[in-house]
Structure 1
Amino acid sequence: MSAPAIDYYVFAQSPYAYMGHARFCALAKRFGATVNVLPMDGTVVFPATGGLPLPKRAPARISYRMDELKRWREFLGLPMNVQPRFFPVAGNPASLMMLAAATQGQTVALRFMDAVFKAVWERELDIADATVLNQLAGECGLDAQALAAAAAHPDTQARFEAISQQAIAAEVFGAPTYVLDGERFWGQDRLDFLERALSEHARAGVPQA
């Protein structure tokens, strides 16, 4: 049986990607899944899919979002600052670093993503700041200068732009979105459904006696 492959679409600054990341990584590991790390550009994906950046949303939606963040923080037991110092924040610099990390393997990329998400929502750091990103890379045991150089390479920028178009073509409109066998699972609160789909995938590959 071939290992399942999951397309993992995120915005680097997404609170919901932060909430689901550790559980998603554990799930992927349990099922031996290959994870395709696919950070998106919200300034491209949102307008193309009917979304609005947070400051442009209606007050009722903004207030309800805060209610939900608090509920999930308590439910998951996370050390989350629901109104972090640096938010909204540009996610593209961190996204490019994520892509650069992905060239070093799935484990490296997922570890760096974890550091980025926690930087925003736990540590209240500015992930649009190159110094902060280099600090996070170093804390992950990576060569910060080499990673930054790779992130700045035109090929990485082109890859980032292509992923955003790929997301739009796949009808992905929010983060996190997990795509398995062409089926979309939007939001960290859909991880249970992803788990069921992975279980079905595993059963389908079991040889029959």
Structure 2
Amino acid sequence: MADIDYFFATLSPYSYLAGTRLEEIADRHGATITYKPVDIVTLFGRTGGTPPKDRHVARQEYRLQELRRQSDKLDMALNLKPAHWPTNAAPSSYAIIAASKAGGGDLGGLCHAILRACWGEEKDIADDAVIRACLEGAGFDPGLADSGLLVGAETYAANLEEAVERGVFGAPFYITTDDQRFWGQDQLDDLDRHLAGRAK
């Protein structure tokens, strides 16, 4: 069985545009996914990246064009400038970590629900009510939004350190057990091919 370590950010539009394709790929190949939310802004600072707002205008313009093209291609609703972005990503990340430890629900569905709330539904993913609704919709106890905050913070910080150590510099980022690295939702087809043994 293959394993995939999935580093992502609940504020990342490209993590949102990945949709549920990672889960479909993993299911097809009998792979397991370990979900590792990270602080993307701090990760940029640690790995030579620049937050979108600080990029040259040419890069900002290209990013918006590319997001529009990708959302159109994938037929996914996307607000290019969400009302609640950027926001505090920690509460939603802690909820994902708590849900992962608790089990019993659809973790991939939870991650996508939180991302969709930000990028497709104009909701504030730092809002407790939004997080609770996402938890409940994915089959988890909504009370997880208020539990394990210390463990969540510790795991969130550990995920960041692990990401830096393992060569992660953006989101979404996928690493297989044989240390093949795939950056971006547009690399999911290559991840699929790799797991199928067709990639060299």
Measured after TM superposition, the shift of residue 106 of structure 1 is 8.5
Q: What is the CA deviation profile of residues 20-77 of structure 1, one whole-angstrom value per residue up to 9, with x for unaligned ones? A: 1311111111111110100001232111101111211111111110000110111111
**Unmatched 5+ residue regions in structure 2?**
none
Q: What is the CA deviation profile of residues 142-178 of structure 1, one whole-angstrom value per residue up to 9, with x for unaligned ones? A: 2112x123341x2221111111000000010100001
Tell me which stretches of 4 or more aligned residues in structure 1 moved more than 4 Å.
none
Q: Pick from 6, 26, 29: which aligns with 2:27?
A: 29
Q: Pick from 161, 167, 177: which aligns with 1:165?
A: 161
Q: Max radius of gyration: which structure?
A: 1
Identity of aligned residues (%): 35
- 1:80 maps to a residue whose letter is L
- 2:113 maps to a residue whose letter is A
- 1:143 maps to a residue whose letter is D
Q: Could you say what the CA RMSD is over the residues aligned between the two structures, in angstroms?
A: 1.7
- 1:195 maps to a residue whose letter is D
Q: Determine whether 1:200 maps to 2:197.
A: yes
SS where residue 36 of structure 1 aligns? strand
2 CA distance for matches of 1:115 and 1:87? 16
Structure 2 CA distance for partners of 1:173 and 1:160, relative to 1, 3 Å: same
Look up the match of 1:207: none
2 CA distance for matches of 1:175 and 1:151? 25
Between stretches 101-110 and 78-87, larger displacement belongs to: 101-110
Q: TM-score, normalised by structure 1?
A: 0.89
- Equivalent pairs counted in the alignment come to 198
Measured after TM superposition, the shift of residue 4 of structure 1 is 0.4
Look up the match of 2:12: 14
Q: What is the CA deviation profile of residues 77-105 of structure 1, one whole-angstrom value per residue up to 9, with x for unaligned ones? A: 11222222111222121111111111134
* Alpha-carbon contact 1:10-1:40 (below 8 Å) kept: yes
Q: Determine whether 1:185 maps to 2:182.
A: yes
Which runs of structure 2 are paired with 1:40-55 in the superposition (5 Å)? 40-55=38-53
Look up the match of 1:124: 122
* Alpha-carbon contact 1:99-1:109 (below 8 Å) kept: no
- 2:157 maps to a residue whose letter is E
* Alpha-carbon contact 2:20-2:109 (below 8 Å) kept: no
2 CA distance for matches of 1:168 and 1:142? 30
1 CA distance for matches of 2:157 and 2:76? 32
- 1:140 maps to a residue whose letter is A
Q: TM-score, normalised by structure 2?
A: 0.93
* Alpha-carbon contact 2:15-2:115 (below 8 Å) kept: yes
